[in-house]
Amino acid sequence: MLNVILLALVLHLPTVASAQVGSEFIFDRASFPSSHASTIVETREGLVAAWFGGTRERDPDVGIWVSRRDASSGWTTPVEVTNGVQADGTRHPTWNPVLFQPSSGPLVLFYKVGPSPSQWWGMARTSRDGGRTWSAAIKLPPGILGPIRAKPSEISPGVMLAGSSTEDDGWVAHMERFGGPWDAQGLASAAAWQKSGPLNAKDEFGAIQPAILAHSSSEIQILLRSRQRVIAEAWSKDGGVTWGRMTATSLPNPSAGIDALRLADGRFLLVYNPSPTSRAKLALAVSEDGKAWRQVTMLEDEAQGEFSYPAMIQSRDGQVHITYTWRREKIKHVVIDPATIGRNGLADAQPIEPITGILEMFKTHDVVALGEGNHGNEQGHAFRLALIRDRRFSAAVNDIVVEFGNALYQDVIDRFVQGQPVAYDELRKVWQDTTQRGTVWDRPIYEEFYRAVRDLNATLPVDRQLRVLLGDPPIDWDDPQSRSGASRTDDFPVSVIQREVLAKKRRALVIFGGMHLTRKRTPFVPPKNPALAPMAAAVQKLQEGTIVAQLDRLGARVSSVATLTNFDISTLQADVATWPRPSLALIRGTPLGLASTVVYFSESTPVVRARGGIEEKLLPDLAAAPSMQEVVDAVLYLGPPSTITQSRLWRDLCADPAYIKMRVERLTEFSSSGADSFKAECAAALKR
């Protein structure tokens, strides 16, 4: 009963199912700096994507680029298949490609050419080999623009219905119908096209770029981008010949492109920016009827940046493919399994093979932050060894940033992992002489980790050898000034990552305690004594400055994984008990993600002090605790807490009088706290 009550208190209910099963960039580097307005289609040979790319939108060098996805090798290198060069040598930018594969006929690429959306004209090219080669450019008839951004619909065999719009006299939407043939003569023939009248009064709605949802052969719905900060809609009851009045939906829109899709099972999906003002978030919503929508997952959820102009299809295997603009720099491809989008309630988190899952993260992130769980746990250590020893790891990752090493000895660890001889008395200072006065890093698993990297590097070519970056601030225990002034904030490891990883365009695995890797923390209840408010605010600010939070603010691409050792998540989702150990799970929109961090973590209760002997313990405001999905992206499940074991101090270490003397002196320099438990731990080690 207690668990049921607790779950009701801590579950954050507004969001639902998460169904993302894969994501990747279509290209990592390209000859053009800016990319936008992608489109995706499935041909008989496989997936094809296109977008416009160049210096920036509206520049004359912007052309249409195409990539095909090979089942074995992934996306092909982008190729420019058309541009805006005219017969007289002038060049205009190209715009908004739309790929369409009719049930019979060639693949068609529709696009626009012109100095601006108010002056562009419609063009097309066709391909009979799945996008490898293309026909000459075909100019569409005067007044016909073709599908303006979202994919068209084949409403009957050989008949295409396309959403279109104009921007030369306000934003006005219309529909275009084409009945073939799918060749240069047919596409250029005015007789083959039909164009509807305007679908909106420009003084009531400024609406463009219709996305089509065919409910039946006669009932068709369109959803549109608008200037009114909402998604607009209109309905047809006669197969798109005539249309009812355009109205506003309840869905926000920051004047940005959308796409929609009818699934094979009859449900509808919508991908959109769920904000009236910002393109920094991109969401997926589901509906049973095209009217009542519920958000199922966030594809992007940032404070700033642009993730926009999505395109969406369902492939023959049932998977949903979404492409979209990623910060105007790249095109991202996300795969959704619609079977995991529940019709009611929450979709469960799904276990992923964890090594593959983390390596997949590196395809779209510069940094993957892997929480350690309880310091010293042996299951997490075993997983980390398996991860770095996987042959794919050194191909994807350059650096490993660790908490358990004093940065004063970066040169020592560099030499050691490169295979150079290092005296043991010099080496052990790396983990024994950190800002931690206690035994936390003295446990054998941390030395073993460094030795595992050294052994691995011995098998790798020099250009693929891993570097270990020490993230604990430099402290010299032989220098009293250094010893007293050492500051233990996350600013230092962030500076290391910024300088050694991001600035050098490298990728890093970051291994730290989990609380260093959260995006948000539970705020404190304001202190009762107003005199302590400034100190409480300072502590709150320090707590919010975690590694991941700071890297997010710097614009780095970071994915954060919490390793679970203290909380049994099967109390939130029962089938977790049957998962393989270890397993990785993306948690957004699932019971694991919507649960409050209250059930996962024990928050600290620091004491703040002011002059005059005033002091007060700061208590976490549990009612304001964030959900887990606001804090991390995924969890690493090692098993229930009862199965987690701890690495223990070596007997030989505890038999070393110099080590005992050093540890006791450090533990008792400011207080006697910890010395007695250390002595007891060593006494137990000597009996083993």
pLDDT tens, residue by residue, 165-175:
999 999 999 99
Q: Are residues 466 and 386 in the same domain?
A: yes
Q: In which band, very low, low, confident or very high, does the pLDDT at 123 lie, cut at 50, 70 and 90?
A: very high
Residue 541, phi then psi, degrees to nearest 5: -65, -40
Do residues 38 and 48 lie in contact, with contact meaning Cβ atoms separated by under 8 Å?
no
Residues 366-379 as b/e (b if ≥16 CB within 10 A, e otherwise) read bbbbbbbbbbbbbb
What pLDDT does 508 receive? 98
Rg (CA), the chain: 29
The stretch 132-152 carries a mean pLDDT of 98
Contacts 24+ apart (CB under 8 A), 290-294: 290/213, 290/215, 290/221, 293/249, 293/250, 293/251, 294/16
What pLDDT does 484 receive? 66
In a domain, 431, yes or no: yes
pLDDT tens, residue by residue, 333-358:
999 988 888 644 557 899 999 999 99
In a domain, 165, yes or no: no
What pLDDT does 565 receive? 95
Residue with the bigger pLDDT between 59 and 203: it is 59
The stretch 262-275 carries a mean pLDDT of 92
Q: What is the CATH number of the domain that holds 636?
A: 3.40.50.11550
The structure tokens listed for 149 are: 């951004």
- Please name the residues in contact with 185: beta carbons below 8 A apart, sequence gap of 6 or more: none
Q: In which band, very low, low, confident or very high, does the pLDDT at 486 lie, cut at 50, 70 and 90?
A: low
**For residue 1, pLDDT beyond 50:** no
Q: Are residues 578 and 558 in the same domain?
A: yes
In a domain, 170, yes or no: no
- What is the rounded CA–CA span in Å between residue 149 and residue 167? 13
Q: In which band, very low, low, confident or very high, does the pLDDT at 622 lie, cut at 50, 70 and 90?
A: confident
Q: In which band, very low, low, confident or very high, does the pLDDT at 308 lie, cut at 50, 70 and 90?
A: very high
The structure tokens listed for 495 are: 């500076």
Nearest to 668 by CA among 425, 438, 391: 438
Secondary structure, 3-state, 350-412: CCECHHHHHHHHCCCCCEEEEECCCCCEHHHHHHHHHHHHCCCHHHHCCEEEEEEEEHHHHHH
pLDDT tens, residue by residue, 669-683:
866 668 888 999 999
In a domain, 382, yes or no: yes
In a domain, 426, yes or no: yes
- What is the rounded CA–CA span in Å between residue 552 and residue 518? 11
- What is the rounded CA–CA span in Å between residue 498 and residue 439? 29
Q: Are residues 489 and 580 in the same domain?
A: yes
The stretch 475-485 carries a mean pLDDT of 81
**For residue 457, pLDDT beyond 60:** yes
* Helix boundaries (H) for 530-643: 533-544, 547-553, 591-594
What pLDDT does 168 receive? 95
Residue percentage of the chain with pLDDT more than 70: 95
User: Is omega for the bond preceding 527 within 30 degrees of 0, making it cis?
Assistant: no
- What is the rounded CA–CA span in Å between residue 96 and residue 171? 16
In a domain, 567, yes or no: yes
Q: Are residues 473 and 454 in the same domain?
A: yes
In a domain, 598, yes or no: yes
**For residue 13, pLDDT beyond 50:** no
The structure tokens listed for 555 are: 């614009």
Residue percentage of the chain with pLDDT more than 90: 73
Q: Are residues 683 and 573 in the same domain?
A: no
The stretch 368-382 carries a mean pLDDT of 97
- State the amino acid at position 609 in one-letter form: R
Boundaries of domain holding 677? 651-659+664-687
In a domain, 228, yes or no: no
CA-based angle 42:47:51, to the nearest 5?
A: 100
The stretch 584-608 carries a mean pLDDT of 83
Q: Are residues 563 and 675 in the same domain?
A: no
The stretch 562-566 carries a mean pLDDT of 95
Q: Are residues 481 and 512 in the same domain?
A: yes
Q: Are residues 683 and 565 in the same domain?
A: no
Nearest to 162 by CA among 179, 171, 150: 150
pLDDT tens, residue by residue, 232-247:
999 999 999 999 999 9
Domain tally, the chain? 2
Helices 378-389, 444-457: axis angle to 10 degrees equals 10
**For residue 488, pLDDT beyond 80:** no
The stretch 106-117 carries a mean pLDDT of 98
User: Is omega for the bond preceding 582 within 30 degrees of 0, making it cis?
Assistant: yes
**For residue 559, pLDDT beyond 90:** yes
**For residue 257, pLDDT beyond 50:** yes
Q: Are residues 633 and 655 in the same domain?
A: no
Q: Are residues 485 and 398 in the same domain?
A: yes
Q: Are residues 671 and 641 in the same domain?
A: no
DSSP annotation of 641 reads G
Instruction: Quote the mean pLDDT of the chain.
Output: 91
First CA to last CA distance, the chain: 42
The stretch 222-241 carries a mean pLDDT of 95
What pLDDT does 589 receive? 77
Nearest to 54 by CA among 26, 38, 32, 37: 32
DSSP annotation of 240 reads T
Query: Which residues sit opposite 400 in a β-bridge?
Result: 468, 509
Q: In which band, very low, low, confident or very high, does the pLDDT at 2 lie, cut at 50, 70 and 90?
A: very low
What pLDDT does 638 receive? 97
**For residue 294, pLDDT beyond 70:** yes
Q: Are residues 578 and 670 in the same domain?
A: no
- What is the rounded CA–CA span in Å between residue 403 and residue 673? 23
Q: In which band, very low, low, confident or very high, does the pLDDT at 177 lie, cut at 50, 70 and 90?
A: very high
The stretch 531-554 carries a mean pLDDT of 85
What pLDDT does 141 receive? 98
What pLDDT does 485 receive? 60
